[in-house]
Amino acid sequence: MERDTDAGIPISTLDYQNSGAATILCCNCGAPIDGTTAAEALCSDCLRLDVDASAGIQRDGTLHCCRDCERWLQPPNSWVVAAPESKELLSVCLRRLRGLSKVRIIDANFIWTEPHSRRIKLKITIQQEASQGTTIQQTFEVEYVVASQQCADCKKSFTHNTWRAAVQVRQKVPHKRTFLYLEQVILKSGAHKDTVNIKEAKDGLDFYFAARNHAERMVDFLTSVVPCKTKKSAELISKDIHTSVSSYKFTFSVEIVPICKDDLVVLPIKLARQLGNISPLTICHRVGNSVNLMDPNTLQTAEVPTGTYWRAPFRNLADVTELKEFIIMDIESIDKSKGKYRLAEATVARSSDLGSNDTTYFTRTHLGGILHAGDAVLGYHLTGTRFNDDNFEAIEASSKYSSTIPDVVLIKKSYARKKKSKARSWRLKRMANEYEAEAAAAAAGGAGSGQQSRREQQDANRLEQDYEMFLRDVEEDEELRQTLDLYKVQAQGDAVKEDDDSEDEVPEIDMNELLNDMDELEVADE
């Protein structure tokens, strides 16, 4: 390097000094920088190396998760639902980090950890302005320890007398098909997310809530799904005479119409005339927020609103537990159809009479589109059956309607099944409810205990039969499946393939209709 002979100063340094008084050199690397804007005598590269942008930001922390409901605590006292490595959980983690509000977050993502390690790691990229015109970007890791803590709602579910509102749902029928369907609809819509506890009682279910508005929301949901009437009552718990503040427990009683799909219904003659002059002898082909009836002889339909029913209630003439099996001897379609139903005239015989007598019955049916000669069908046998029903006696005494009473009313096609049913490739989710056995504490031993256990066993067997009947309805009714969520069975795939050569005539459910259960997939990944 050339030197000035007078002062002994390098020429390059003189050039920088002569170029302007605002230019200085970096104290670390000697690079020229603008002295008017630099807060320190460091260039941008040296600032990035020497300045820690993440200083003052917490590098570790603790996350609280409830083991029962798997929700995460978001301070001060709110609990949020967040799946592993979801954006909701990422938001909870970032909110718990002290000092992060002073910098700008560029990127944040999860680092994979073992599920059993109870650790959550984040990789965070931040930006911070170190000096005027110089921005520093830095990436660092944060580790959280997952600790268990019971949320307030789960504490209440394990503590007696903590609910503030209850919804008692009842239906006085000899089977549980309505509640099994109602269970699936509730699971699909998530209407049970605010419940403190769910108990199974006689003829129905009890839903317990921590707040009154949650119970009212459940009542509104039930009213929109099934035909029912509600009644509210309140019980005074405590009252402060100084402030006039009272505490109540509210109970909502919901009674569902005791008429189910495929029931045989006899309308009062006056009501039948009001409903478009339909024949009083009908079948229930659908139950929504009202009761839909159909005359199988003419395919005429009528809708009974909930208010109309409860002003003059009536019961069904027969339910699905009284169905008999018949064999189609001959069938001829009539050129009349309505929706998926087609009118036909059929000659049938009871399956139990085959080989013993030649008794046949002639009837009209709405199942002309799916029945053929030789098929088995379920129906109600009216000839020789005595019904203790005032409405049925009225149409028998009527000269106008007595001639319209058929010998047999066909309801649905019966499919041949093996005694040992094959494993299904689909399944339904169930609600976790607590069975409340009546007088369980009183039966402490001896004969009473044995009698109680036998009754419980009978109830369990009856519930299993009702559930199997409901699963068969799901297989056979495509319209019913559209209102439910069906899930694939992952673990029993091999068992299903082994039974593919079975002689069952049950309709197969398309695999495209089934959903993947995320819980099972997570367990399989682990």
Q: Are residues 294 and 381 in the same domain?
A: yes
Last residue of a domain, one of 134, 151, 168: 151
Assigned token pair, 183 = 């269970």
> Do 366 and 397 fall within a single domain?
yes
Q: State whether 237 and 281 are in the same domain.
A: no
Looking at the domain assignment, is residue 447 inside a domain? Answer: no
Do 144 and 168 have their domain in common?
Answer: no
Same domain? For 338 and 407 the reply is yes
400's torsion region: left (phi>0), alpha (psi -120 to 50) or beta? alpha
> Which residue is associated with the tokens 């064999």?
327
For residue 501, tell me if it sits in a domain.
no
235, 163 Cβ separation under 8 angstroms: no
Whether 99 and 115 share a structural domain: yes
Residue written as tokens 């000697």?
30
Domain membership of residue 498 (yes or no) is: no
Domains: count for the chain:
5
Residues 168 and 279 in one domain: no
Interatomic CA distance for residues 510 and 429, integer angstroms: 18
Residue-by-residue pLDDT tens, the chain, 526 positions: 444 444 444 444 444 444 444 677 777 676 777 665 545 666 766 776 667 777 778 888 899 998 888 889 988 888 888 888 888 898 888 888 888 878 888 888 899 988 888 899 999 888 877 666 667 788 888 999 999 988 877 776 666 657 889 999 999 998 888 999 999 999 999 888 888 888 888 888 999 998 899 999 999 999 999 999 999 999 887 777 888 888 888 999 999 999 999 999 999 999 999 999 999 999 999 998 899 999 999 999 999 999 999 998 999 999 998 999 999 999 999 888 888 899 999 999 999 888 888 899 999 999 998 999 999 999 999 988 888 889 999 999 988 888 889 999 999 999 887 766 667 888 888 887 655 544 444 444 444 556 667 877 887 888 888 888 999 899 888 888 888 888 888 754 444 444 444 455 677 788 887 888 655 544 444 4
Residues 120 and 224 in one domain: no
Looking at residue 268, its pLDDT comes to 93
Do 275 and 401 fall into the same domain? yes
For residue 265, what is the DSSP state?
Answer: E
Q: 193, 224, 256: which is the final residue of a domain?
A: 256
Same domain, 327 and 287: yes
CB 316 within 8 A of CB 335: no
Same domain, 275 and 362: yes
* Buried b or exposed e, range 363-386, using 16+ CB within 10 angstroms: bbbbbbeebeeebbbebbbbeeee
Q: Which domain holds residue 437?
A: 419-441+466-490+506-525
Q: Look at residues 515, 518, 485, 517 and name the one whose alpha carbon lies nearest to residue 190.
A: 485
